[in-house]
């Protein structure tokens, strides 16, 4: 079987090269680009992100990121968001009193954690959702987080829906927050798999395994 073709979306934010190297280590062919056609054609799209929510959204809009997400997901084409790349998938983010519209793939808000120490920086365990494919074989491992903001609740109601309910993985720093979501073709992690050692590489490999 040929190596999956992955685009890491370059919109001026994120650990682009570290994400590229990690994905290449687990067998992917990776291109870092902002090209719309390449992002739409790839087997998988990775949306990284570091820094402020508003700045990330500004960069995403400049490369038609929200439209790319809409088109890919409408066709069931896999996307993986990482860190702020997960946060921007929600309706909006609030930082320093500024409310910024997001990509609205999921309802809800990203705001500051209520914790005695911020940012939340370092290794943490996660409470993995039953049936998770991302965390297969690594449910007991620790993952590397660097953030002060997160989605602290889940508002998408799938009761009565014919589609599978999203798989929600949680972590705690001061209070519970979403560490990962698996929602059909759209997956995301608040932590950095590319900085999480062997466990993070396994998670990326697991994600690649969902593309076929």
Q: Point out the catalytic residue in the list 103, 120, 173, 194.
A: 194
Q: How far apart are CA 194 and CA 2, in angstroms?
A: 22
Strands (E), 97-185: 98-101, 106-112, 120-125, 142-147, 149-151, 167-173, 175-183
Number of domains in the chain: 1
* Residue recorded with tokens 């396994």: 202
Q: How far is residue 14's CA from residue 193's CA, in Å, rounded to a whole number?
A: 13
For residue 5, indicate whether it is catalytic.
no
**Sequence-ordered list of residues with C-beta below 8 angstroms from that of 125, at least 6 positions apart, any chain:** 140, 141, 142, 171
Do residues 80 and 44 make contact, with C-beta atoms less than 8 angstroms apart? yes
d(CA 40, CA 82) in angstroms, rounded, equals 18
> Whose CA is closest to 27, among 209, 210, 212?
209
**3-class DSSP assignment, residue 29:** strand
pLDDT for 159 equals 60
In eight-state DSSP terms, residue 76 is T
CA 28 from centre of chain: 18
Per-residue model confidence (pLDDT) at position 163: 67
Which of the following is catalytic: 92, 120, 147, 192? 192
* Cα angle 124-51-197, degrees, rounded to a multiple of 5: 35
The pLDDT of residue 2 is 85
Can 64 be counted among the known catalytic residues? no
Angstrom distance (rounded) from CA 174 to CA 110: 16
In this predicted structure, what is the pLDDT of residue 82?
A: 97
What is the pLDDT, as a whole number, of residue 160? 54
Structure tokens of 114?
Answer: 């209520």
pLDDT in tens, 181-197: 999 999 999 999 999 99
Q: How many CB atoms lie within 10 A of CB 1?
A: 5
pTM listed for this prediction: 0.96
Domain that holds residue 144: 5-209
- pLDDT lower than 70: segments of the chain: 1, 159-163
Q: Sign of the C-alpha dihedral, residues 129, 135, 140, 144? A: negative
Say which of 56, 83, 103, 187 is annotated catalytic: 83
What span, in angstroms and rounded, lies between the C-alpha atoms of 69 and 31? 17
Q: What pLDDT is attached to residue 99?
A: 97
Is residue 87 a contact partner of residue 108, using CB atoms and an 8 Å limit?
no
CATH number (domain holding residue 142): 3.40.50.880
- Tell me whether residue 194 is one of the annotated catalytic residues: yes
């Amino acid at each position: 079987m040929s190596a999956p073709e992955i685009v890491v979306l370059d919109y001026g934010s994120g650990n682009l090269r570290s994400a590229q190297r990690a994905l290449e280590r687990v067998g992917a062919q990776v291109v870092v680009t902002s090209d719309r056609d390449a992002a739409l054609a790839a087997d998988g799209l990775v949306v990284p992100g570091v820094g402020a929510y508003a700045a990330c959204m500004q960069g995403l809009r400049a490369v038609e990121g929200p439209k790319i997400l809409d088109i890919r997901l409408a066709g069931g084409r896999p996307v993986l968001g990482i860190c702020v790349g997960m946060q921007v998938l929600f309706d909006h983010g609030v930082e320093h009193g500024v409310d910024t519209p997001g990509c609205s793939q999921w309802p809800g808000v990203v705001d500051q954690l209520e914790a005695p120490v911020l940012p939340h920086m370092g290794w943490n365990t996660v409470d993995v959702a039953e049936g998770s494919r991302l965390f297969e074989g690594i449910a007991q491992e620790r993952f590397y987080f660097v953030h002060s903001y997160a989605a602290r609740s889940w508002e998408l109601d799938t009761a009565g829906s014919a589609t599978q309910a999203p798989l929600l993985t949680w972590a705690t720093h001061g209070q519970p927050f979403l560490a990962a979501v698996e929602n059909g073709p759209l997956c995301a992690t608040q932590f950095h798999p590319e900085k999480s050692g062997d466990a993070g590489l396994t998670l990326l490999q697991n994600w690649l395994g969902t593309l076929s």
